[in-house]
Amino acid sequence: MRVLMQTARRAPYAALILMAVSLAALVISQEWQTGFLVVLSGFEFQVVTGSLLVTGLCYQWILFFKRVLRDNKNARRVLVNHRWVGVGMTYLFALHAVRMGHTWMTLLSVVFFLIALTGVLNREVLRYRQNWIYLVWLSAHIGLSAMMVPLVALHVWVALAYQ
C-alpha cells in the first residue's frame, strides 16, 4: 500500500490515465454512445473531438523530436506536458470513440490503449533496474505511436469519405 501511495505522489497522472483507459474501454465495449450517450455521437461532435485528438497526437511527437535532436531546453516541462496531454487525450478518446467497429477500427482502439498503458508504465512509475528494460519499454511506446499515425490517417479518410 505504501508503494502505491508513493507512486501516486510521484506520478499523479498514473491513476488518472488508468481510469481513462477503463472508461474508454467501457464506453466502447458497451457502445454507450449509440445508446444513452447518443448526443455525443453526432458528426459535428466527432469532427471536433477528432480534430482535438489529431492536434494532441501531433503535439505528443514534440517530445520525440526534442530527444532525437538532443534539444534539452525545457525538456522536463515538455515531458510533463507530454504525460498530461496523454491523459487528456485518453479521456477525449473515450468521448470520441463510438464502438469498436471493423477490424482496422478495433486495431486503432487497441493500439491507442496500448500506447496509454505503455506510457503510464514509465521510469517514474516503474523503477527499471536495467537500462535494456527501459529501452524495450521506450521502443514499444514509440513503435506503437508510430503505428498509430497511418491508422489515424486511414480512419480520417474513411470517416470523411462516408459522410
pLDDT over 60 at 24, yes or no? yes
- With 0.95 as the threshold, say if the pTM is over it: no
d(CA 10, CA 13): 9
Q: Each residue of 111-133: pLDDT tens digit? A: 999 999 999 888 888 888 899 99
Q: Each residue of 137-151: pLDDT tens digit? A: 999 999 999 999 999
Q: What is the mean pLDDT of residues 1-25?
A: 75
By percentage, how much of the chain surpasses pLDDT 90? Answer: 40
d(CA 50, CA 105): 14
Q: Where are the alpha helices (DSSP H) in 12-162?
A: 12-30, 43-68, 75-96, 103-120, 131-161
Q: Phi-psi region for residue 29, left (φ > 0), alpha (ψ -120 to 50) or beta?
A: alpha
Q: What is the mean pLDDT of residues 64-70?
A: 91
Q: At what angle do helices 75-96 and 103-120 cross, to 10 degrees?
A: 140
Count CB atoms within 10 A of the CB of residue 127. 8
**Angle made by CA atoms 48, 83, 60, in degrees to the nearest 5:** 55
pLDDT over 80 at 84, yes or no? yes
* Structural domain boundaries enclosing 44: 2-161
More confident residue, 42 or 80: 80
By percentage, how much of the chain surpasses pLDDT 70? Answer: 85
Number of domains in the chain: 1
**Contact of 33 with 40, CB cutoff 8 Å:** yes
Q: What is the mean pLDDT of residues 82-93?
A: 92
Considering all CA atoms of the chain, what is the largest pairwise distance in Å, rounded to the nearest integer? 52
